[in-house]
């Protein structure tokens, strides 16, 4: 059994296939497994919470994991050790989530492209057809993650409290979420995964795109992301498209295309969930 995992900070999608790519179990979903945020104990607990993973762990031959927080060595090795301890007979590979985005969005294996992730967090890399190049090391949701779910959640909460939302939007926002200050601070400072908590607010924008406020909020984040991340690859952008993966990107396609035209880069493909494209990639040579 081969396990392929695409993990953000909010959720992890798991698919189990045989060597020919045939699906063996129903798709599984656990909480996000970001090793840059979660402890070893918490990572163990999340994985073992799924009965299918727990009961089949000894017959797993390969684990191919792509995840947020896996772009630097220390958290990547932590998660690899946890997976190896659980799936005792498996060959385990852990890679950053950007590679999953690359493999699922490019049109052919040797295509060069700038590839972006806009989900709970955000990232951007250049794939030259063989090697992934990253010019900015992510420092996580506190300092970076422009145009991500947690970025937009933060902006929405700020605008609510600073009275910068139109009144009708503010009423709708306040009725959908618990906006008590103590509740918000408890989730941000005393609960695990504050980035995922913030990202939960982002859906509101896409349910209220009849408001000029939310459309401009989305565009503001995309412009910021383009300036800080996409334009790290100014020379490459002259010749390659920009592909996008992740739920925020998927639901903000119109705004991304508008900002791209405004700022002068070419938009390529959108993929909401990269995991589907990873099956063929990992089974073709087994």
The confidence score (pLDDT) of residue 109 equals: 82
Is residue 277's pLDDT more than 80? no
The confidence score (pLDDT) of residue 10 equals: 81
- Residue 202 inside a domain? The answer is no
Displacement of CA 246 from its chain's centroid (Å) = 5
Domain housing 57: 2-100+274-283
The confidence score (pLDDT) of residue 285 equals: 59
**What is the pLDDT averaged over residues 277-282?**
77
**What is the pLDDT averaged over residues 94-99?**
88
**What is the pLDDT averaged over residues 169-192?**
97
Least confident range from 14-18, 82-86, 96-100, 241-245: namely 96-100
Residue 31 sits in a domain whose CATH number is 3.30.420.40
Sequence-ordered list of residues with C-beta below 8 angstroms from that of 98, at least 6 positions apart, any chain? 71, 115, 117, 123, 124, 125, 132, 134
Beta bridge partners of residue 149, listed in sequence order: none
- Tell which wins on pLDDT, 233 or 282: 233
The confidence score (pLDDT) of residue 48 equals: 94
The confidence score (pLDDT) of residue 188 equals: 97
CB of 253 within 8 A of CB of 206? Answer: no
Detail the DSSP E strand segments found in the chain.
2-7, 11-17, 28-31, 62-67, 91-96, 113-118, 122-127, 132-133, 242-245, 267-271
- Residue 51 inside a domain? The answer is yes
- Residue 67 inside a domain? The answer is yes
**What is the pLDDT averaged over residues 83-88?**
97
**What is the pLDDT averaged over residues 158-177?**
97
CB atoms near residue 198 (< 10 Å)? 26
What is the C-alpha to C-alpha distance for residues 108 and 256, in angstroms, rounded to an integer?
23
The confidence score (pLDDT) of residue 284 equals: 67
Extract the tokens encoding 170.
């503010």
Mean pLDDT across the chain: 93
- Residue 9 inside a domain? The answer is yes
How does residue 286 score in pLDDT terms, banded at 50, 70 and 90?
Answer: low
pLDDT digits (tens, 9 = 90+) for 24-70: 998 899 999 999 999 999 999 999 999 999 999 999 999 999 998 89
What is the C-alpha to C-alpha distance for residues 149 and 73, in angstroms, rounded to an integer?
25
Extract the tokens encoding 142.
């506190």
Determine phi and psi for 244, rounding to 5 degrees: -130, 140
pLDDT digits (tens, 9 = 90+) for 197-256: 999 999 999 999 999 999 999 999 999 999 999 999 999 999 999 999 999 999 999 999
3-class SS of residue 111: coil
**How many structural domains comprise the chain?**
1
- Residue 17 inside a domain? The answer is yes
- Residue 144 inside a domain? The answer is no
The confidence score (pLDDT) of residue 178 equals: 98
- Residue 62 inside a domain? The answer is yes
């Amino acid at each position: 059994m081969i396990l392929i995992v695409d993990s953000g900070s909010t959720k992890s999608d798991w698919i189990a296939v045989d060597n020919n790519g045939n699906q063996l179990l129903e798709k599984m979903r656990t909480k996000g497994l970001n090793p840059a945020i979660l402890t070893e104990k918490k990572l163990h607990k999340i994985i073992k919470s799924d009965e299918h993973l727990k009961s089949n762990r000894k017959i797993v031959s390969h684990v191919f994991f792509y995840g947020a927080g896996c772009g630097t060595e220390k958290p990547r090795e932590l998660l690899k050790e946890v997976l190896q301890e659980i799936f005792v007979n498996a060959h385990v590979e852990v890679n950053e989530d950007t590679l999953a985005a690359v493999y699922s969005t490019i049109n052919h294996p040797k295509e060069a492209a700038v590839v972006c992730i806009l989900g709970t967090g955000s990232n951007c890399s250049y794939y030259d057809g063989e090697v992934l190049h990253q010019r900015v090391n992510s420092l996580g949701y506190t300092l970076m993650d422009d145009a991500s779910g947690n970025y937009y959640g933060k902006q929405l909460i700020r605008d609510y409290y600073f009275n910068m939302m139109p009144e009708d939007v503010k009423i709708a926002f306040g009725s959908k979420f618990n906006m008590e200050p103590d509740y918000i601070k408890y989730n941000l400072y005393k609960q695990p995964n504050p980035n995922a908590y913030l990202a939960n607010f982002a859906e509101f924008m896409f349910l209220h795109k009849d408001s000029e406020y939310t459309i401009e909020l989305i565009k503001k984040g995309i412009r910021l992301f383009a300036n800080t991340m996409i334009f790290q690859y100014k020379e490459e952008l002259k010749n390659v498209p920009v592909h996008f993966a992740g739920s925020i990107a998927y639901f903000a396609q119109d705004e991304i295309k508008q900002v791209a035209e405004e700022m002068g880069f070419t938009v390529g493909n959108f993929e909401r969930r990269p995991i589907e494209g990873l099956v063929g990639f990992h089974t073709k040579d087994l």
